[in-house]
Chain A
Amino acid sequence: MKLMRRPFAIWIVACLAWAATGELASAEWQALGGFMEEAFGYRAGDDNLTKHKSFDMAEQRLQLKDQYTFDGEGLLSRWRSVLRFKGDFTVDEYFAGETDFELREANISLTPASFMDIKAGRQVLTWGTGDYLFINDVFPKDYESFYIGRDDEYLKKPSDAVKLSFYPKAVNIDFIVIPYFTPNTMPEGQRLSFFDSFEGGIAGRSSDRFLVSPAWQPENFEYAGRFYRNFSNTEAAVYLYSGFDKIARSYKDEAAHQLYYERQDVFGASLRGPFAGGIGNIEGGYFYSPEDPKGDNRLIQNSMAKFMVGYEKDLGHDLKIGFQYFYEQTLDYGAYRAALLPQDFFWDEYYHLLTQRITKLFRNQTVAVSFFNFYSPSDQDGYVRFSVSYDMTDQWKIVMGANIPWGQGEQTTFAQMKKDKNIYVRLRYSF
């Protein structure tokens, strides 16, 4: 049921019905845009656990997008309303030519007052300051797309949400209600192998975990807020979130191999601005685990503290570099370790991660070479992302790249992905 989930469908029907009752004035839908893409990912590792040994991506994609700006005398026009739509049709040869449609955006934006905006419907949500690292951006991600080399666009999954934005003089406020939970898409064994604690190691198709999402009911609505403003040219923000972990990290029923998305509350803050001839950013967050407040339940994720600091600089000649340091600490670690059973896998108290980015453009910015490296000194693992893209014309673009996760063990973030190395190519025609 990727296609149409109930709460979302209600929104769209409501919007369209309203629009149809006389508000569809002189303005027209703008010309349909989008792209067609052919993508292939060659499996560079020796992964015999997944469905196909030789490749991990073979798909065709047609993305269509359009928007409608209300332009007449009606209320929606006066509220400067815009309907936006974007959807992807896919044919996935990895799963024997399975066809799918993913609605990525279908929302309406309104400005009912000069100090207020509303955006309702399916939308991609993002905030925070990291580069491929997220603390206060607790919105759903698709890490399977990330590891196989789809466009960065697909790292972000849409949410079905209502976003209210207020702009009083002192501080800007975003308040988001997400009635329907969307988890991260994580490797699950068919396409990418990963560490499965039930299997006691890296698992592929044999993985039989079952992930339990929170039921759709008012108590399980998620709420996210951001307060932000500029101090001169430095951007400051405070973030609040109450909802669920987007990765199923807690055990519902060990015997039945059931994991679930435990409740999570996040309090965080960030700063971003010019620093030493570049852009510096700093962000932190406290992740409270209300179902395991003392940290002594071995089945439920503990509270955590996360922190990162980053720097990006333009060296001229279309060359940019960036560095980040990310730190994570499991709180109440003593209580967690004391509660563990002898056969349990367990996680370290401290996690350190460094990233480096180099991006260089050539040939009038038509060729982009990008290198992004994750390295964790505490886990002794890492992940190299490399890509070269070439805009052959305004319509045709080719991207080639490699994803190389590596590591010592089998359990840590990138080491568990070490069999999933790939080299990919994507050819896109935009219209």
Chain B
Amino acid sequence: MNKTLFFIVAWLGLSFCAVHAAEMGADEAAQKASHMAYYQGKDGRSSVTMVVTDAQGRTRERQMTILRFNIQDNGDQKYYVYFYKPNDVKGMSYIVWKHPDRDDDRWLYLPALDLVRRIAASDKRSSFAGTNFLYEDVSGRSITLDAHEMLPGDEKYYVLKNTPKDKAQVEFSYYKTWIDKNNFIPVKAEYYDKEGKPYRTIEVLEVKDIQGHPTIVKMKAADLNSGAFTVAEFSDVSYDVGINDDIFTERYLRNPPSQWIKG
């Protein structure tokens, strides 16, 4: 009797899981995708090269090291960005205390002036360092800011329609994301304007396995109206390198932590 009951419960449980997997909730998919794109490991380090190609085909290059530290999974994080290129900003460093539920705290250090400037940063949808990526693309858009809706996908991807809860804060009316069913990496995002026309895309061009984490190592942001685009490549990616909270302070803005950042 007990055995029978156990099997019944187990069977019910398994089928519940199976049904659940088949009907992955939109919120859950969005949350897993956000985790894979921005929160893997306890911390992370990577070297980033961004090449901006404008509508006339001219290119500009940005080169930096980014350090990341999770305070809370899918919650608060801290970022440290050190710029190598272009030459006129070499040595500039930048700290973000990311808060999904309110304005981030940001500080910028300008070495030529020895100045630590507090940045008024209410607009997370402005260009990151003059590229086609936005601040929110670099540090992640909080999943609570959008309503997520599952659209019919295919055997490889979940497709989500994400509609902002506060339309006044953003320039898009909604965006779609394609999420890999195998590893929950968001491989593509397409942004739609008020007329429902796509005007901006972000595409993942390459994913690599690093320390057991599927990791985006190459991606492209394109402005469909102007034809300008930016390709970002991530190299020397490593997770759990032992970054601690201390380095996201004025001390390390002025003196970049040399174990992770080579001047």
Q: How far is the CB of A112 from chain B (nearest CB, A)?
A: 13
Does chain A have a CB within 8 A of B213?
no
B115 CB to nearest A CB, Å: 5
A390 at the interface (CB under 8 A from B): no
* B88→A35 contact, CB < 8 A: yes
Query: Least Cβ distance of A250 to chain B in Å?
Result: 29
Contact with B along A388-411 (1 / 0, CB 8 A): 000101110100000000000000
Residues B120 and A109 in contact, CB atoms below 8 Å apart: no
B103 contacts chain A at the CB level, 8 A cutoff = yes
B99 CB → nearest A CB, Å: 9
B75 at the A interface (CB under 8 A): no
Cβ A82 vs Cβ B118 within 8 A = no
**Residues in A whose Cβ lies below 8 Å from that of B153:** none
B210 CB, nearest partner CB in chain A, Å? 25
Given A117-B251, A316-B126; A69-B262 close (CB under 8 Å): yes
Among residues 117 to 144 in chain B, which have CB atoms less than 8 Å away from a CB atom of chain A? Answer: 118-123, 125-127, 129-132
Q: How many contacts between A and B, using CB within 8 angstroms? A: 101
Q: Within 8 Å of chain A (Cβ to Cβ): is B242?
A: no
| Interface size range on B against A | 35 or more
Q: Which residue of A67, A393, A431 contacts B263 across the interface (Cβ within 8 Å)?
A: A67
Given A33-B87, A69-B258, A316-B126, CB of A279 within 8 Å of CB of B120: yes
Q: Is B92 an interface position by the 8 A CB rule?
A: no
Are A274's CB and B250's CB within 8 A? no
Q: Is A126 an interface residue (CB 8 A)?
A: yes
Q: Which residues of B contact A33 (CB under 8 A)?
A: 87, 90
Q: B residues 100-114 with Cβ under 8 Å of A?
A: 103, 105, 112-114
Residues of the A chain whose Cβ atoms lie less than 8 Å from the Cβ of B119? 279, 314
Chain A residues within 8 Å of chain B by Cβ, number: 51
Interface of B, secondary structure class, is: loop
Q: Of B58, B60, B85, B258, which is in contact with the most chain A CB atoms at under 10 Å from its CB?
A: B258
- Contact (Cβ within 8 A) A364 B127: yes
> Which residues of B are found within 8 Å of A365, using beta-carbon distances?
127, 129-130
A420 at interface, CB cutoff 8 A: no
Q: What's the least CB distance linking A57 to chain B, in Å?
A: 19
Residues of chain A within 8 A of B86, CB atoms compared: 391, 394-395, 430
Q: Is B228 an interface residue (CB 8 A)?
A: yes
B54 interface hit (Cβ, 8 Å): yes
A267-283 CB mask vs B (1 if < 8 Å, else 0) is: 00000111001110100
| CB <8 Å contact, A364 and B114 | no
Chain A residues whose C-beta falls within 8 Å of the C-beta of B250 in the assembled complex? 172, 228
A320: Cβ under 8 A from any B Cβ:
yes
CB distance from B184 to the nearest CB of A (A): 31
**Is residue B52 contacting chain A, with contact meaning CB distance below 8 A?**
yes
Chain A: which residue is nearest B58 at the CB level? A393
**Which residues of B lie under 8 Å from residue A126 when comparing CB positions?**
113-115
- Assess the A156–B87 pair: CB atoms within 8 A: no
Q: In the complex, A235 Cα to B54 Cα: how many Å?
A: 39
> Given that A30-B263, A316-B126, A318-B126 are known contacts, is A152 also in contact with B113, CB under 8 Å in the complex?
yes
Pick the contact of B126 from A80, A233, A317, A428 — CB < 8 Å?
Answer: A317
Nearest chain A CB to B242's CB is how many angstroms away? 14
Q: Which of A205-232 contact B (CB under 8 A)?
A: 228
Q: Would you list which residues of chain A between 121 and 168 have a CB under 8 Å from chain B?
A: 123-126, 151-153, 155-156, 165, 167
A393 to chain B: which residues have CB within 8 Å?
58, 60
Q: Which residues of A contact B131 (CB under 8 A)?
A: 364
Q: How far is the CA of A235 from the CA of B52 in the complex (A)?
A: 36
Determine if B114 and A124 form an interchain contact, defined as CB atoms under 8 angstroms apart.
Answer: yes
**In the bound complex, what is the Cα–Cα distance between A397 and B61 (angstroms)?**
15
The verdict on A394 contacting B61 (CB below 8 Å), with A152-B113, A274-B105 known, is: yes
Assuming A228-B250, A314-B120, A391-B130, what are 9 further A-B pairs, CB within 8 angstroms? A117-B251, A153-B112, A281-B118, A316-B123, A316-B126, A364-B54, A364-B228, A394-B87, A430-B88
Q: List 25 A-B contacts (CB under 8 A).
A: A35-B87, A109-B255, A111-B255, A152-B113, A156-B112, A172-B251, A228-B250, A233-B97, A233-B105, A272-B118, A278-B122, A279-B120, A281-B118, A313-B122, A314-B122, A316-B125, A318-B127, A364-B54, A364-B127, A364-B130, A364-B131, A364-B228, A393-B58, A394-B87, A395-B86
